[in-house]
Amino acid sequence: MRKNKSSGDVVMWLSGYVIKLLVLLITIHLITNHCLYSAFDVLNTGARPYALGGAYSAISDDAYATNPAGFSSIEKFEISANYNNLYSVSDIENYYFSFVLPANKNVLGFSFHRLGISGIYYEDIYFLRYARAILEKTSLGLNFKFYGISAPGYETLDDILYKGEKIFSGYDIGFLYNLSDELKIAALGTDLNSPGYKLLASSPDSEKIKSDFIFAVCYTKFNKIVFTGEYQFFNSELRLGSEVSISDILFVRLGSNRNNFTGGIGIRISTSRKTLTQFDFGFAMHRTLGLSYQISTIFRWGK
């Protein structure tokens, strides 16, 4: 049985709730650039993709792969974790965990991503990933995604219109083709079933996870310099990035998206022939909100 709240307590709690929710909604709008759709945006997840302006679909060679077809190039077991600091707003939670398991010609993966405000609102995604090289130069990949959206803040207010956590599913299909040792092209269709949900019973229309199509290119020179770019058709957005290997250990990255500047560094440390640890830092400068950054780590081991 829930304890009744005084009107003063409700007003104080509600004012704090509204302020935090506004911060999250502004962040979601800036992430998606389309306020009619939920955020659920993982294309900028991982410090390396973040530093490259999100232009990662034609690279996707680690646990932060946005294009599941890229998983086919992973030969060692990987486990990774990522923390995202969005514009120094401490109440926003944005983190990601993943592991990848190569099994002969098949590669399997599982990931979890959360965006929300502590105790108020959460958007979660659980990924099941599969990739396979179907020809010598061609790979295909699938993401099966289970979305969960909840608003504990409504439960605190005993809002009768809130019907509890919503769970629904979506899927992505990715393609990767190696034109040569230096040039790769990729195509990615995201949320092809355009899943939707209603968080409140009074909502006239369902919120949508909009389908998108991405075309991407990656060019590598001297095995040390990488240029990558991609175009998102739904957002009409061009993303560009570059990476330079200073040594086998240190990597410097620059990128841009939505006219925002991104950058970062990466460090790879091999402790033996079978293990490798990677640390990455990526940042983005928003013209209005300022600096946000991500910190990632990947641990690899195997033959």
Q: Which of 260, 258, 259, 300 is nearest to 282 (CA)?
A: 260
Q: What is the pLDDT of residue 233?
A: 92
Q: Which amino acid is at 116?
A: G
Q: What is the pLDDT of residue 10?
A: 45
Q: What is the pLDDT of residue 12?
A: 47
Residues of the chain with pLDDT under 50: 1-5, 10-15, 19, 26, 28-37
Q: What is the pLDDT of residue 78?
A: 95
pTM for the full model? 0.82
Residue 98: strand, helix, or coil: strand
Residue 18: strand, helix, or coil: helix
**CB 100, CB 70: distance < 8 Å:** no
**CB 220, CB 182: distance < 8 Å:** yes
Q: What is the pLDDT of residue 32?
A: 41
**CB 228, CB 241: distance < 8 Å:** yes
Task: Indicate the burial class of 161 (C-beta count within 10 angstroms; 0-12, 13-18, 19 or more).
Answer: exposed
**What does the alpha-carbon distance between residue 103 and residue 203 come to, in Å, rounded to a whole number?**
45
